[in-house]
Amino acid sequence: MRIGITYDLRQEYLAQGYSEEETAEFDQPETIQAIEETLQELGHATDRIGNAQSLMSRLLAGERWDMVFNIAEGLRGLGREALVPALLDAYGIPYTFSDPLVLALTLHKAMAKRVVRDLGVPTPDFCLVEKPQDIEAVGLPYPLFLKPVAEGTGKGITGSSCVESPRELQQVAAILLAKYQQPVLVETFLPGREFTVGILGTGDDARVLGVMEVVLLEGAEAQAYSYKNKEQCERFVEYRLAKGPEAREAGELALRAWTGIGCRDAGRVDVRQGPDGRIQFLEVNPLAGLHPLHSDLPILCSMSGIRYRDLIMAIVQSALLRVEALQHASGGRAR
């Protein structure tokens, strides 16, 4: 197949004056190189497309691909992750990972939690602070955990994210509202162990790849898998492959959330233990990072004995299964 690759390259945005934190979710050149070389090893012809603007230009010029390997995060707005899949849907071009609905829903953490809660999956009690006046109306018991409602890679999460008093809540919420210009998710803090669950596949074919515990080391920002801890994970984080009843519970809960929301192909679900030891849903990442050495999903796969090549191959195969099922349902007509 001829596979195009859509992505947002961090260096391109840094060159335009964006900060390190603003570009935290974007990919490094070695990530794109690893994906491209792996696809080529699997026998595919590749074409680096780039970001949404590049995709739009090339679509309008008449270019097409058999499939697009999409990891583009987008830059602005609550629908930024959904933009590339929406464009590809409009032109009938198959792509990897989730559709626009899922990507828009899961980027907004509060909306995702509402859907998950409706599915019967436990998640911490929460509320949304959309403006400074909302802070006084927060009625949840302390401690609380605060983060921007639509960011990833730990952006907006620091050692101050866990608050113990109305005064701390006021201070941290005001800072987040001003800095990120978006609502702040306020949820009951879960004090137990934190896990991330790798999932492969779509619908009935989805399965748990492994469960990895995130353990913060000395010097790390406490109680949070924060932006600093993620960016310097080699120094501040130890990853452990989880086993036993907690891992089984985490995997089962994550799979329920993954399939219930409608996520596709591969990604991660983050969960944490509550004060009673029960696992609860935090958030889902349907566009998980794919740096072969630095990103959580490839790290988890490596610890589980799954090679990077096999992960990329399985993602493409999962997407192909969806395309073939759709073609069969439509009598063989092109998508």
Residue 224, pLDDT score: 81
- What is the CATH number assigned to the segment(s) 194-320? 3.30.470.20
- With contact defined as beta carbons under 8 Å apart, do 96 and 38 qualify? no
Sequence ranges of the chain with CATH classification 3.40.50: 2-95
Tokens standing for 33?
């190189």
pTM of the model as a whole:
0.93
Phi, psi of 156 (to 5 degrees): 85, -5
Residue 335, pLDDT score: 44
- Secondary structure class of 304 (helix, strand, coil): coil
Query: Which residue has tokens 């970001």?
Result: 51
Sequence ranges of the chain with CATH classification 3.30.470.20: 194-320
**Architecture of domain 125-188 in CATH?**
2-Layer Sandwich (3.30)
Q: Work out the number of other CB atoms within 10 angstroms of the CB of residue 64.
A: 12
Tokens standing for 278?
């029960």
pLDDT by residue for the chain (335 residues), tens only, comes to 999 999 999 999 999 999 988 898 999 999 999 999 999 999 999 999 999 999 999 999 999 999 999 999 999 999 999 999 999 999 999 999 999 999 999 999 999 999 999 999 999 999 999 999 999 999 999 999 999 999 988 889 988 999 999 999 999 999 999 999 999 999 999 999 999 999 999 999 999 999 999 998 988 887 788 888 888 888 889 999 999 999 999 999 999 999 999 999 999 999 999 999 999 999 999 999 999 999 999 999 999 999 999 999 999 999 999 988 877 776 655 44
Tokens standing for 276?
């009673």
Q: How far is CA 193 from CA 68, 73, 242, 307, in A?
A: 37, 28, 11, 27
- Interacting residues of 206 by C-beta distance below 8 A, sequence separation 6+: 199, 200, 255, 258, 259, 263
**What is the torsional sign of CA 201, 292, 71, 328?**
negative
Which residue in 295, 290, 284 sits closest to 112, CA to CA?
Answer: 284
Phi, psi of 56 (to 5 degrees): -60, -45
Q: What is the DSSP letter of 266?
A: E
In whole angstroms, give the CA distance from residue 172 to residue 177: 9
Omega before residue 143 within 30° of 0, cis? yes
- Secondary structure class of 242 (helix, strand, coil): coil
Which residue in 115, 70, 130 sits closest to 94, CA to CA?
Answer: 70
Tokens standing for 16?
């335009």
Residue 228, pLDDT score: 82
Residue range 2-95 in CATH 3.40.1350 = no
- With contact defined as beta carbons under 8 Å apart, do 268 and 297 qualify? yes
